[in-house]
Structure 1
Amino acid sequence: MSPLFDALEAREPAQREAALMAALPAQLAHARKSSPAYAELLQGFEVEQVTTRAALASLPVVRKHELQERQIAARTASDVFGGFSTVGKGAAMPRVFSSPGSIYEPEGTARDYWRMARAIYAAGFRPGELIHNSFSYHFVPAGSMMETGAHAMGCSVFPGGTGQTEQQVQAMRDLQPAGYIGTPSFLKLIIEKAQEMQVPLPSVTKALLSAEAFPPSLRDWFLERGIAGYQCYATADLGLIAYETSAREGLVLDEGVIVEIVRPGTGDPVADGEVGELVVTTLNPTYPLIRFGTGDLSAVLPGACPTGRTNSRIKGWMGRADQTTKVRGMFVHPKQVNDIVKRFAEVARARLVVTGEMANDSMTLCVEVANPAEGLAVRIGEAIRDVTKLRGQVDVVPLGSLPNDGKIIDDARSYK
């Protein structure tokens, strides 16, 4: 069986670029005609002339916080997507998902809507296999993203979801899946639980991992236990952006997106190799995000992938261009920290500090309070869980203790 998913992956780079640029004007025209948000954002632009990357760079960047703001503004009306979706609820939109923030995402009817099959194939899965999918199936689209991609590739899926580690081990023992899809930290927990239960899992030899950093130390830990883990980079808004191959040299860009690396805080592309913010344009007609700023940092790698895939490669996730970060697979936004603080008038300033190593991280909300009342830390901890859906510690500190640098979220984790 071919090591490549399809012929698109082996196209000459010039052929791929020509195809993407030829499709771009029609996508822009469709977005402006069918999406109220882009009718406004693209007003005055001659979209039929946008046939080069230089022309694309003249269009505005829409960052995640702007998408969220537009959604919030429209939430009392009929359109909860802020005018970015081109279809309404009903048969054309079988599912609606929510990401922390809250940001709502539509799922369309296209086969492999999130374009995940390509990444699943690159991780070593093949048609006819059973995949144990431990991404969440509720609220966020991750479970559906992977399941629809697996189905499009011809695989069966066990919807393990999250939690219930012992039951996950039992299901793997009984069903003998070919591999696992989910976060790396949860796979580690499952393996450790299996060892504790003295249950061998010989069938699980490969994994597609996402939603968290996947450091070499954890990759090697899996390999020592017979599991080849590969990562992919995807978001709830865009679907698949890039994926790792057996060469393990960066992440190859998906065939269905146009990726730019721009200087953080601007829409200006940087030179290849320079670290900047990933800005993505999709060719998805249902949710046509144009120059969508992910807030993630990365850089383009020189040369082509040794596997024969000819698309550009990026180094992978290199941090955040803004202060939004992921904790245990969930985005935490500065706005959420502010929402927590607003519930407590006695809190003067706050900073969320994320520490530890990926797959074993924790967060502590440091709050400045002049005269803390009894039980304040407990109540703030409950608010953290309510707003972020994650558990966090609370450190009450005297006024003036936190640095005066405007930082709301401090990601102090180790990514080695």
Structure 2
Amino acid sequence: MNTSDFYDQRETRSADERQASQLTALRALLAQAKSNPLHGKRLPDLGPGAQEITTLQDLAKLPILRKSHLIGMQAETPPFGGFDNPGTGHMRHIYQSPGPINDYDGDGPDWWRAGRALYAAGFRAGDIVHNSFSYHFTPAGSLFDQAATSLGCTVFPAGTENTEAQAKALAAFGTSAYTGIPDFLPRLLAKADELGLDATRLTKASVSAGPLFPSVRQGLNERGVQVYQCYVIADLGLISYETKALEAMVVDEDVIVEIVRPGTGDPLPAGEVGEVVVTALAHPELPLIRLAIGDLSAIMPGQSPCGRTNMRLKGWLGRADQTAKVRGLFVHPEQVAQVLAQCGLRGRARLVIGREGERDTMTLHLEHAGDPEGLDERLQAQLKTTFNLRGQVRLCPPDTLPNDGKVIDDTRDF
């Protein structure tokens, strides 16, 4: 049983040790990727042994792969856009995230590497974890399930439905830890209070897939629940995570993170806000090299007071494109067009993301001059079908929405 404050010794190694290890892993990954014809086209100037990559900074010479482009690439060459190297490992599960974007996981007890984030949040062997991420279609439920069980925790696979039943299970099992989106935990505990249930054994939480607003963290802390964020994506797994220092997010040991100027791919110095670009070193089955994920962040100068020595990110600072995340799910501009097309509509529309209390809201604003009868209901039903989220509809007279090209307007204050 690990009794250290650190998940492993790699978290406290020197910068030189980390760079040497990651360079070796990067060159091996690139050499494997070159055996894939698609990567061969993307990386035409890279030799078979990746000899041209002599430092981690040389990674910036390679082209950016945009996550937003994966939708079209996977549609053209299903299921993974031609990027997979099936000969390098076994794909244990396959998933489909909104977009749609197809994902997978491979062999190993914690393939997504999120156990490191849970360990930093205080999860230990013997904890009973209430996992409220979905196990359906998307990998989030399995991702956090693997992370927790790899630490020796016991997991209740709660999923996303029926708050009352979840509250009863939380109390019955004496749950000590939570994984899920930030917004759901306060509602879950409020339901336990309403039912007169004892949820006081819950003392720690690792949250992701949505912003942790200060008011939510404060409210949970006042209940004795310590909450830590982790930055995880379905395509690559763990990127970074909060520690007990609560000062920025420490980058995972098995990824290389760059912050680049949006639109150029040029790396930015510490402190400057740019787009997050990630290369996962441990996933040869589907190597995604220099994946630009559309999020904005910045490198926090200096070392974490917690003792971990890897670089740190300032957290999520917005989107480099118009994609947004609502209640743990991404919403894409292309999906707004799908909603209109399915309802036989054309014209200017805008999906406005807002916040009421501690809950995200989604409202489709649509310019419409025709007969409105029944249109609200049809559009609301199509929103649920397309986004797997409930939303409202607001019909507007023609030429009243701003002519600024914006399809998704995220008005939340982060």
Give the TM bin, normalised by the shorter chain.
over 0.9
Task: Give yes or no for contact 1:74–1:82 (8 Å, CA) kept in 2.
Answer: yes
Query: Secondary structure of the residue that 1:9 maps to in structure 2?
Result: helix
2:210 partner amino acid: E
Structure 1 residue ranges without an equivalent (≥5) = none
1:190 and 2:179 equivalent? no
Tell me how far apart the structure 2 counterparts of residues 274 and 379 of structure 1 sit (CA, whole Å): 44
CA distance in 1, matches of 2:108, 2:85: 14
Task: Quote the offset at 1:359 in angstroms.
Answer: 4.0
User: Which structure 2 residues correspond to residues 11-410 of structure 1 after superposition, within 5 A?
Assistant: 11-33=13-35, 35-46=36-47, 47-75=50-78, 80-87=79-86, 92-283=90-281, 284-356=283-355, 359-410=358-409
Task: Give the secondary structure class of the aligned counterpart of 1:281.
Answer: strand
Give the alignment's TM-score, normalised by structure 1: 0.95
> Structure 1 residue 268: deviation in Å?
0.8
- Residue type matched to 2:44 in 1? Q
Whether the 8 Å contact between 1:357 and 1:413 is mirrored in structure 2 is no
Q: Deviations over 1:141-193 (max 9, x none)?
A: 00110111112212111111111111111111111122111111111110110
Question: The residue matched to 2:86 in structure 1 has which SS?
Answer: coil
Compute the displacement of 1:406 (Å): 0.6
Contact 2:19 2:56 in 1 (8 A): no
- CA distance in 2: counterparts of 1:274 and 1:229, whole angstroms: 27
Partner of 1:4: 6
Secondary structure at the aligned position of 2:269 is classed as: coil
SS at match of 1:260: strand
Secondary structure at 1:391 match in 2:
coil
Deviation at 1:266, TM superposition (A): 2.1
Q: Distance in 2 between matches of 1:402 and 1:326?
A: 22
Deviation at 1:231, TM superposition (A): 0.5
Structure 1 CA distance, aligned partners of 2:354 and 2:18? Answer: 41
What residue identity is the alignment partner of 1:267?
G
Alignment partners' CA distance in 2, 1:165 and 1:94: 30
Q: CA deviation at 1:95?
A: 0.8
Alignment root-mean-square deviation, CA? 1.5
Q: Distance in 1 between matches of 2:4 and 2:232?
A: 24
What secondary structure is seen at the aligned counterpart in 1 of 2:275? Answer: strand
Alignment check: 8 A CA contact 2:87 2:285 kept: no
State how far apart, in whole Å, the 2-side matches of 1:51 and 1:189 are: 51
SS state at 1:184 partner: coil
Question: Which consecutive aligned stretches of 4+ in structure 1 deviate over 6 angstroms post-superposition?
Answer: none
> Amino acid of the residue matched to residue 179 of structure 1?
A
1:306-336: CA deviation from partner (whole Å, max 9, x where unpaired): 1110000101011100000001111000010
What is the TM-score normalised by the length of structure 2? 0.96
Work out whether residues 175 and 199 of structure 2, in 8 Å CA contact, stay in contact via their aligned partners in 1.
Answer: no
Q: Shift of the alpha carbon at 1:43?
A: 2.1
Deviations 1:291-317 (A, max 9, x none): 000100000111111111000010101
Question: What is the alpha-carbon distance in structure 2 between the residues aligned to residue 54 and residue 251 of structure 1?
Answer: 22
The worse-fitting range, judged by mean Cα deviation, of 334-343 and 113-122 is 334-343
In structure 2, what residue type is equivalent to 1:114?
W
Structure 1 residues 200-246: Cα deviation after superposition (integer angstroms, max 9, x where no partner): 21210000011010022111100111100100000000100000000
Instruction: Give distance in 1, aligned partners of 2:351 and 2:14.
Output: 46
Most deviating of 320-329 and 23-32: 23-32
Q: Which residue type is aligned with residue 302 of structure 1?
A: P
Give the conservation status (yes or no) of the 8 Å contact 1:347–1:367: no
- Aligned in 2, Cα 1:358/1:84: closer, same or farther, shift over 3 Å? farther
SS in 2 for 1:242: strand
Q: Distance in 1 between matches of 2:57 and 2:167?
A: 51
Q: Is the 8 A contact 1:205 1:227 kept in 2?
A: yes
Shift of 1:343: 2.7
CA separation in 1, counterparts of 2:135 and 2:346? Answer: 36
Question: Does structure 2 retain, via aligned residues, the 8 Å contact 1:134–1:160?
Answer: yes
Q: Which amino acid aligns with 1:87?
A: P
Distance 1:381 1:165 in 2: 23
SS at match of 1:21: helix
Question: Structure 2 regions of 5+ residues with no counterpart?
Answer: none
1:165 maps to a residue whose letter is T
Equivalent residue of 2:7, what SS?
A: coil
The number of residues matched between the two structures is 409
Identical columns (%): 49
